[in-house]
Amino acid sequence: MDADLIQFLSGFITPERLTLFNKILSQRTNYLTVVLEDLYQTQNTSAVVRTADCFGIQNVHVIENKHAFEVNPDVVRGASNWVSVIQHNGTAMNTPEALQKLRSEGYRIVVATPHDHDVALENFDLEKGKAAIVFGCERPGLTEWAMKEADEYMKIPMVGFTESLNVSVAVAVTLHHLTHQLRNHTDIDWHLTDIEKQEILLNWLRTSIKRVDLLEAKFEELNK
């Protein structure tokens, strides 16, 4: 039924826009995903969503423990329409459940922080499987829960006096490097599945078409 609905709704956007949607979908990936743990500056979270869109990362997971996620429209520049932002905010401490759920979906939990057993970004092994890269709150950093749940630790090597990057910059550096490596890796199937593409395309169509609810009601009526 989704395929039929997609075909129906596709008639209400231009062929050029539909071609663009499919072109971008061909470069999207869920092989890597970003996890933001309790960022308190909305501009940083919004900047990460925008960065994810630029580098073809479809899903961004936002863990809300003390700080709720709010889109900053001046920063995100519409990227939240195209990137799936999954919010984890059911309890006072959402980190363990969020990371365990990602692990159950086949992701290894990779914490972005210096650690005794860390690996430099340039040496990160993409062949080991899907990875959820976890970045922490601006000042306190990652919680003990995040560190405890980690399967691996990764750092961005630095040679200056300053020991850390702004979190949105750290995400951008990481995604630029890893997505470049991923797309040039012949042995990893990083593309979305056909089902994932259908689900995302349907969401993008719904986002793009005015009064899409009326059109979907008409579709349902025609297909009774």
Alpha carbons within 13 angstroms on the beta-carbon side of residue 62 total: 25
Would you tell me how many other CB atoms lie within 10 Å of the CB of residue 74? 8
Is 57 annotated in some ligand binding site? no
Cα 38 from Cα 94, distance rounded (Å) = 9
Is 165 annotated in some ligand binding site? yes
Residue from 86, 83, 19 nearest 56 by CA? 83
Could you tell me which residues come within 8 angstroms of residue 86 by beta carbon, excluding any fewer than 6 positions away?
Answer: 59, 60, 61, 62
Annotated binding site for S-adenosyl-L-methionine: 156, 165
Annotated binding site: 156, 165
